[in-house]
Structure 1
């Protein structure tokens, strides 16, 4: 029996690997599988679907059949046509709920501002983002179960890091300038063509690293490679585990994720820095005047309270890097494509940045006064968000929504972010990218606070919404706006053909075209 299960896993692992590669844009070349090996896994998945589907039989289905076998075809259709299926479900069931088939389970989708506001107010012991992420992304396998049992990194980011954002800002801007100088070798004599997504990932990784671990580690090539490769590793692990029945995932996840070796790589790089800082803390105590103000220092202080060690720091640091670099680099590249395909937007943005910087200098407060820039970034997130769903939650206790729908314990629920953002009831002419629609509202005095880039609402779900919205959204928005301000001040940009490259839909993710190139030309700014 052990040999049979081992062989079954080996065959299914190979199958899941090629499906994972296909989901990231590689050709789907399905290997020949022995049905006697693969059959038990399919049977297990079908039984899970049958059991879960029976509990959700009262909820209408979109994107496929509710029957166990046919639901796989529906899941395949959904993963390749996610935006269309969610839009169709949104149009048919707005104000209510529907369900869509994933490979390994059902996802219940809530629609309309009433239900979104209702769910966002619910506490984590009733609907939990952390537990949903653990199942949907496989975070417990990649980063360890400790990040789910005691997610103190969330409080560290939300409280300490956000409160210290003003002092972090100067170092981050310094790193943005240095990173652009290294990654964008342009001059004033002509245009240089660069792969936009790969280039912006480098800049984001550097700027994020400056806030997370400080100098000189944020410029260490091995550290940058570790944080950038992590995105691919997590995505591959998630895609493979999707094809593994849930009851087998704890055993399989250890083999696939290889989290201990990744943590060891991180420890090798941060270990000397952690040891040096802990020595200074022991020497000076609260009187350490040169205490660094970054995420690493906050994590060191937190693990000391808990009697933990550097391994736990590595776990949290890897997790936060994965979330920050992946979403921020995708978001910024989306915005860059909007700007480069319509470079006439550069002029009003540049005028605003020059005026505010001349008056305020490069400060967090100055970035906060750039209404056009803020509105541009918000509109980019509205039209081309990084994911088609938001507010992913796992139902921890059975609940009945105000629309009368009962949701059983253990169900994953989410809101359709893309469909919400393209609803004409929420935004006029919603399919059009209008770069200054939000800044115009601010100038006219309509809901100025509500329409800021990092401000969530029932009709703007780019950062989620409510009590469990992205805890680092204020820091992330400051970073992205500072990057864009630096870019429009120091570079001209355009697409060679003037056309914005098409986005890549990979399941529920909306990725900027990975191969598109943007033309950069250095300019001499009026202010610095």
Structure 2
């Protein structure tokens, strides 16, 4: 009994020590950031109320700070920590040029989506699969475009039958199934990309990762390991995915071991690309390769599905003249180049429409986080101490009248008109983020454009270079929209002319999850 009492006493003492250290650390962080203006409560205890308030009012708080402290930094309290928000072109330029040893993208992502619990610690410690996205995926967009196009046609025909009468479908869930099939036609090919259970588990994993991350981040650091281990979707997803992927992976491993990497008939898919870059050893296993296929799927499905649903909502409320312009552009490009990546690259007005949709929808209130690893001083003299988090007020930036005339008005060809000006052709593409447009990220972690000429133009105009991953995403989106325009008439349920209200949680904004869109056979469909 005395030993038990001693153990409980030691455990209680140890627990109290941890809590006290956390409190002291939180006080120290608050004190270190005292020179940065605050939006919301700033007292040590009252700020925790501000963190709770942030969950429902992140957009208002970010906009308030953006308006009040333009060109400066301000801070807001999230449920688990302070977040420093920067504004103005000078600070954003400092931000994008900072090295990873000062402002770390990887560390911020690990915290934001709680990588160790949601997508696997091993993928954080060795993320070679990102190199595969940078190289092999980009190189093969043209080679595999026909397969992607074929899957779009088949997926749409099954999910949204082509009928003369209106067919009503839930937008987001339908889009996710179409995008999942299309993406996996490129990743794992037929017949697996069409298996309903495989599609379901990829979609569920995508949803579960972001849901778990949002919940885990509501807990203080001390409790995150407990919450993370309870909420992790990894074990279940890998177990289910292996039932589908293990035979294919094991056969590919055996073939590569026996014949090398250039055997006749070796599939040109994501698994082969991963094996080409695989560091071997503990990472050359069925489980690890399964986890990386799930992770790449998660990123691809989430980004494209959210964007396409936003775009579909806006497409559904456009007047006939806008739809006519978009259709005529698609038809002209296809007549000249056929269904190809080159044809999609010629769609300037569609590119503008897509970009305006995601700009208007707004994205996250605060995004593009960096973890401060070393004290970092901005050009205005503001120093952000190590251990802090820094982000950009994306929604406010995308609706700033200094950069966008009538920012709250939807102008479908806003960016096409900008591109028509001399020297502006590349800068205003959807695929090319710049200091006023950050849907795809910023700085070196927007990744590199694979076409040297585009990269040189980006550097010439001192804008952000763009990601090879987004080359696939934007081409996939254009192909999805082109097929929609040429096959269907679309409108919102009940003939609504207002874009469905998005779902907001903290600083995250997603397209409405329950809204329905109506489709019928295009009146001039051939």
TM-score by length of 2: 0.88
Q: Give unpaired runs (5+ residues) of structure 2.
A: 448-466
Corresponding position of 2:393:
416
**TM-superposition CA deviations, 1:215-256 (whole Å, max 9, x none):** 222111121111111133223322332233324433542232
**Residue 354 of structure 1: how far off its partner (Å):** 0.7
Query: Secondary structure of the equivalent of 1:233?
Result: helix
Corresponding position of 2:474:
477
Q: Hey, what's the Cα distance between the residues in 2 that align with 1:6 and 1:491?
A: 65
TM-score by length of 1: 0.88
Corresponding position of 1:287:
262
Corresponding position of 2:498:
499
The answer to whether residue 171 in structure 2 is matched with residue 196 in structure 1 is yes
**TM-superposition CA deviations, 1:276-302 (whole Å, max 9, x none):** 222332344243243322222211333
Corresponding position of 1:27:
none
Corresponding position of 2:240:
265
Change (3 A) 1:382 1:164: same
Query: Secondary structure of the equivalent of 2:190?
Result: coil
The within-5 A match list for 1:371-450 is 371-450=348-427
- Of stretches 106-115 and 263-272 in structure 1, the one that deviates more from structure 2 is 263-272
The answer to whether residue 314 in structure 2 is matched with residue 335 in structure 1 is no
Change (3 A) 1:176 1:284: same
Change (3 A) 1:391 1:407: same
**Residue 306 of structure 1: how far off its partner (Å):** 4.8
Structure 1's consecutive aligned runs of 4 or more residues displaced over 6 angstroms after TM superposition are 1-7, 39-45, 524-527
Corresponding position of 1:186:
162
Superposed CA RMSD? 2.5
Assess if the C-alpha contact under 8 Å between 1:327 and 1:386 holds in 2. no
The answer to whether residue 70 in structure 2 is matched with residue 94 in structure 1 is yes
Assess if the C-alpha contact under 8 Å between 2:181 and 2:194 holds in 1. yes
Q: Give unpaired runs (5+ residues) of structure 1.
A: 8-36
**Residue 51 of structure 1: how far off its partner (Å):** 2.9
The within-5 A match list for 1:158-173 is 158-173=134-149
The answer to whether residue 128 in structure 2 is matched with residue 149 in structure 1 is no
Corresponding position of 2:81:
105
Q: Alignment length, in residue pairs?
A: 495
**Residue 68 of structure 1: how far off its partner (Å):** 2.5
**Residue 497 of structure 1: how far off its partner (Å):** 2.4
Corresponding position of 1:512:
511
Change (3 A) 1:494 1:268: same
Assess if the C-alpha contact under 8 Å between 2:363 and 2:508 holds in 1. yes
Q: Hey, what's the Cα distance between the residues in 1 that align with 2:170 and 2:319?
A: 18
**Residue 142 of structure 1: how far off its partner (Å):** 1.6
Assess if the C-alpha contact under 8 Å between 1:97 and 1:108 holds in 2. yes
Change (3 A) 1:526 1:360: farther
**Residue 520 of structure 1: how far off its partner (Å):** 0.5
Change (3 A) 1:269 1:41: farther
Assess if the C-alpha contact under 8 Å between 2:80 and 2:218 holds in 1. yes
Assess if the C-alpha contact under 8 Å between 2:399 and 2:407 holds in 1. yes
